[in-house]
Every structure is written in structure tokens, then in C-alpha cells.
Amino acid sequence: MPTYPASALSAWLGRAFAGAGVEPSSALDAAKVLVRTNARGIETHGVARALVYVQKLKTGELNPRPQVRYEERHGVLHCYADAGLGQIVGMAALHAALARAATAGFVPLVLHDVGHLAALGMFALRAAEAGMVAFVTQSTPPVMALPGSQGAAIGNNPIAFASPVAGRPPLVFDMAASGVARGNVLAAKRENRPIPEGWAIDEQGRPTTNAEAALRGAMLPMAGYKGIGLAMMVECLAGSLAGATPPAMAGAKPGSAPSRVGAFLFVANPGLVAGQSAYDAHLAGWIATYKKATGTEGRYPGERAAGLEQKRMAEGIPLAASVVAELKQIGELTEIPFDLAAA
């Protein structure tokens, strides 16, 4: 695939978000989150999400200039996002939690009416880079169901976790409760290719390898009932605790990138909770055991992505032709033509 300089791609996308009404400095912050997501190898949840965000900003479904407010009640920080872009309001809320964790040790945060956060691991990663442990979840409209189900039953409700690792890249993992993220099916449809068996069912609840039929049907949960259980946990934490309107009542389309959903995260300061040296020593010990067992090629989550990010930030971000076509659509919508030259 052709590659585009990371800084130039971020700058252009920031101008495009500003062209959709977002405050320019915040627009650039959001663009950098999406480009960094691509740099770490998560193509389905980075720049490929920009078109739908711009469309929602232009129609008012996402609020380009939200009136964000915070409340702290009973030891819990609440952020009322006013349908703001998740990459902006979500990151700002995370930083508010990080500031409190410097002295509080452990800070739970509930986000209300926030836009789609895309790759939750980017938020957890930012916390780990600040020396904190983080857990992040977001509820989504129904996209997942067990075989035989007549339609989507529950969101594939992603979960991310990150921890600092002394002298090494942070440990980061980000997963949906489905066997594979729905973004992979969207990418397959965009590129007109089949999906593997075991990813999805069609509208009649039958297994399918047709991406379009899968998008009309539902994703299959990972590990069967275990994936459903994880999705229900996220609904409790990110939906019910946030007082979010159930998707069916809110009129959310199954599988649509949500504009007003709930999210939940916590950040923990290992230095205050466990003692920094004790935490670092324990973590280093079990990672050493893990690597010894897995062999010379063994890696913990986040290591490969850190190396890939370094490479792509230096050499450029590869973009599929279908994504470039969507960036050109963004240019038409915002009057900021996509004029970057590929390397």
C-alpha cells in the first residue's frame, strides 16, 4: 500500500475536522489519535473511522463544540460529554482522571453521552505512558449474537487494559467481546472480499462468510457464552452505570458507530496502591516467566505495536485505496481537499 507521512496526514485530518466545525487545536488532537492508531497497526479503528465521524459532525449527530462538564460524586468522577467527539472528550476526561490519580491512587470515571471512542487501547496506552494502570470499556449498539439468533442481541462491547513496564514498552491489549472486531468485516466489505468462517451469522442466524450478509446479521462472540458474559459486564459498567438510554430505545441502528453512548474506565497509580518498586518487580518477574515459556519470539501485548509505531512514524502510514477514497470524500464534505502525495 502507498504510505503517507504521519505528521502531514495528522495535519490534514486535523484541518478536515476543523472544517466540520471542531475547534482547530482539538481537531488536531483527535487526528493524531487516529493516525497513531494506524501507526500501531490497528487500521480498522484509525483513519478508516474518520469519514463516519465527519458525516456525523456535519449532520449534528456528533457535537463539534460540546459543552463538557465534570462532577465528582461519592468518589467517582463523571464526565458529561454532550455528544463530543470521543477522541477529544474521552482523552480530556482520561487526563482529568490521571491528574486525580496522582494523589488519590485509584480513580473510577464514568463518561456520559460520549461519541465513539474507536480503539480503546489508545486511551489505556496514554495512561500507561503516564505511569498509570488503566482499564477502559465502552458500550455499543447491538452487533453480536449467538448462532441461531434472529438479529443482533448485544454490543460487542470492547475492553482495553494497559500497564507501564519499567524500561520497556507498555503492556496494552484491546479486544472486542466478539471473535473479531466488526471493523474487520467493514474492511472486508470495503475491499469486496469474503470473511473467514466463525466470524459472523446472517439475518437468519446461519454462519456466513459474506461480509455484507454478516453486517446485516451479527458478529459471533469469542468463546461462546464467555464473550456474551464479557459484553454483559460492559453493559453494566459502561451503559447502566452511565444511565445510558438502551440502544433500541435511543433509535441506534445495529452496528452504527454510536454518537451518544456510555463508557467507563479506571486509572490506578501503582506507586500509591502497591509501591512502585514492588509493582515493577512483580510485573518484571511474571513477564520474565512468560517470555521464558513462550521462547525467543515471545512477546507481551503492546511490544509489536510499539515497534511498528516507531517504524511507521518514521517511514509513513500505509493506507488502502478504499480508505484514501474515503479521505477524498471527507475533503469534499469539508472543502479541505485531500491533496497529500503518497511516498
Is 93 a domain residue?
yes
8 Å CB contact between 201 and 152: no
CATH classification at residue 183: 3.30.1370.60
Distance CA 263, CA 140 (A): 9
Strand pairing of 69-73 and 76-80?
antiparallel
Is 332 a domain residue?
no
Is 38 a domain residue?
no
Is 114 a domain residue?
yes
Write down the pLDDT at residue 252.
52
pTM above 0.75, yes or no: yes
Is 34 a domain residue?
no
Write down the pLDDT at residue 181.
84
Is 99 a domain residue?
yes
Write down the pLDDT at residue 258.
74
Q: Is the pLDDT of residue 110 over 60?
A: yes
Is 112 a domain residue?
yes
Domain that holds residue 234: 68-302
Which single residue is written with the C-alpha cell 503492546?
Answer: 302
Average pLDDT, the chain: 94
Give pLDDT tens digits for 170-212.
999 999 999 998 888 988 998 899 999 999 999 999 999 999 9
Give pLDDT tens digits for 209-222.
999 999 999 999 99
Compute the residue count for the chain. 343
Q: Is the pLDDT of residue 250 over 50?
A: no
* Mean pLDDT of the 74-83 span: 97
Residues near 341 by beta carbon (within 8 Å), at least 6 away in sequence: none
pLDDT tier at 248 (50, 70, 90 boundaries)?
Answer: low
Give pLDDT tens digits for 7-28.
999 999 999 999 999 999 999 9
Distance CA 163, CA 159 (A): 14
Write down the pLDDT at residue 253.
57
Write down the pLDDT at residue 286.
97
Angle of helix 6-19 relative to helix 24-39, nearest 10 degrees, comes to 140
Is 314 a domain residue?
no
How many folded domains does the chain comprise?
1
8 Å CB contact between 145 and 280: no
